């Protein structure tokens, strides 16, 4: 079964995030192929990472909060 680059990138993000306990927004965005996710899919990715116990931090190392409280935009 062939998997997309986006699927592999998301799988690797989950593995790394769960192993390390944290990912930066920049790491997440760099790992994803450009244009591979809709806004709703991106929201779901961040939500799922947080639900899996992965802390998401900005470039300064500050924890990004409130992602799980945002409603996904309509596509």
3 assigned to some structural domain: yes
Give the pLDDT score at 45: 93
The pTM score is 0.78
72 assigned to some structural domain: no
Q: Over 9-22, what HEC string results? A: HHHHHHHHHHHHCE
* Whole-angstrom distance, CA of residue 14 vs CA of residue 72: 20
66 assigned to some structural domain: no
Q: How many folded domains does the chain comprise?
A: 1
Encoding tokens for residue 68? 């799980």
What does DSSP say about strands 22-24 and 55-57: parallel, antiparallel, or unpaired?
A: parallel
Over its length of 75 residues, how does the chain's per-residue pLDDT go in tens digits? 556 888 899 999 999 999 999 999 999 999 998 888 888 898 899 999 999 999 999 888 888 876 543 444 444
13 assigned to some structural domain: yes
């Amino acid at each position: 079964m062939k998997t997309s680059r986006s699927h592999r990138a998301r799988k690797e993000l989950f593995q790394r995030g769960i192993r390390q306990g944290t990912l930066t927004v920049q790491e997440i965005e760099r790992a994803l192929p450009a244009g591979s996710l809709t806004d709703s899919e991106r929201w779901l990715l961040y939500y799922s990472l947080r639900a899996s116990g992965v802390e998401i931090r900005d470039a300064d190392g500050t924890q990004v909060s409130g992602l799980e409280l945002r409603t996904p935009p309509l596509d």
